[in-house]
Amino acid sequence: MLGACGQSGVTLIELMISMTIGLFVVMAATVLLMSTKSGYLMQDDEAQIQASGRFAIETVSRAVRQSAYFPWSGMSNAQLSTDLIGGMIAGLDARSLKSSTQGIDLPVRKSVNGSDVLAVRFFGSGAGGAADGSMINCAGFGVAGAVDALADDSRGWSIFYVVEDATGEPELYCKYQGASGWSSQAIVRGVESFQVLYGLDTDADGLPNQFMTASAIDALDGTLVLEGVDAAARARDRGRKTNWKKVVAVRIAMLIHGAHLAGVERMSAEHDLFGKDYANAFADSDKGVRIRDAEMPTLQRGRVRRIFATTIHLRQPPPLAEGSR
């Protein structure tokens, strides 16, 4: 029999209603937590991508600008005409490199999303084989001044290319020549595509008339008429006449992704590294200038991605005074 205070506890229907309400509360809290976490991860990715992009642009820009430096007063031999020095800028389209090979020789045909290779040659600074720190390679090591400007090993190297690490994550690498040989190291993580165009000055006014790929410049060099009694002499003549010495600006673009998934709704995104007009005209021939999220590897789809681009103009060396040639 029921006591005077009435029925205690709840009925089965009341219990089920309470459990349903509780379940909705838990689900709402879970959705709110996941949304908050997703927003935090996206903000964290945005901050990391911005930091990586700024660092990458600054590092490559500094290296390219160094290519215009010529130590006129620091040579042990007579003043030299820049006509006798090989090109300071070189590149490869849709290639990668190994860290142990000489310069950009023996490139790897497999590239990460058609990423290019940019190689910068530059003179060091500092007498007696000791670098004074004013000229550094892409890894931050000082490069000493040259004893003989005509020697091929008298200049430093800063080479940029993209390679995947052991987990498949793409990274922008810096390759350089150290005291004990060639070395390379990753400097920016998450660089999915690294694209380069070269501004050629075809009328000697110091300004670029057109921007071309590395392959297009090499094709122009293939039409040069070379003079010389042997292969070595013709190679020196090619160094004097190469169209790479007409490069007065370098345009670079990088696509960098974050570390976390941002949602499948982003998979339809299309990224044109040099703009839509260039991609519409050259995406088929210049691989890597247009990247679609849906075409990326499964583990890299749906991430936050940003494009970083800039154009670096090279300062032209002053002309030699009469009698110094």
- Convert the pLDDT of each residue in 22-49 to its tens digit: 888 878 777 776 666 566 556 777 889 9
CA distance 211 to 201: 9
For the sheet with 303-313, list strands across it. Answer: 210-212, 191-200, 247-261, 303-313
The answer to whether residue 282 sits within a structural domain is yes
Residue 10: is its pLDDT beyond 80?
no
Examine residue 2 and state whether it is found in any structural domain, yes or no. Answer: no
Indicate the number of domains in the chain.
Answer: 1
- Name which residue leads in pLDDT, 100 or 73: 100
Percent pLDDT > 70 in the chain is 82
**Full residue range of the structural domain in which residue 154 is found:** 39-69+81-313
Tell me the β-bridge partners of 257: 305
Beta bridge partners of 155: 123
pLDDT surpasses 60 at 281: yes
Tell me whether residue 224 is in a domain: yes
Is 156 part of a structural domain of the chain?
Answer: yes
pLDDT of residue 130: 82
Residue 206 lies inside a defined structural domain of this protein: yes
Lowest mean pLDDT among 77-86, 119-128, 173-182, 201-210: 77-86
In a domain, 1, yes or no: no
Residue 135 tokens read as: 């000229």
Q: Identify whether 65 is part of a domain.
A: yes
Of 179 and 192, which is predicted with more confidence?
A: 192
Please report the pLDDT score of residue 72 as a whole number. 67
Exposure on the CB side of residue 207, measured as CA atoms within 13 A: 2
**Rounded Cα gap, residues 186 and 102, in angstroms:** 18
**Residue 190 placed within a domain:** yes
Residue count of the chain? 325
Can you give the pTM of this predicted structure?
A: 0.82
Rg of the chain over all Cα atoms, to the nearest angstrom: 28
Residue type present at position 111:
S
Average pLDDT in the 51-77 region?
83
Q: Which of 133-147, 148-162, 179-193, 282-296 has the lowest mean pLDDT?
A: 148-162
- CA torsion 179-60-124-180 (nearest 10°) is 0
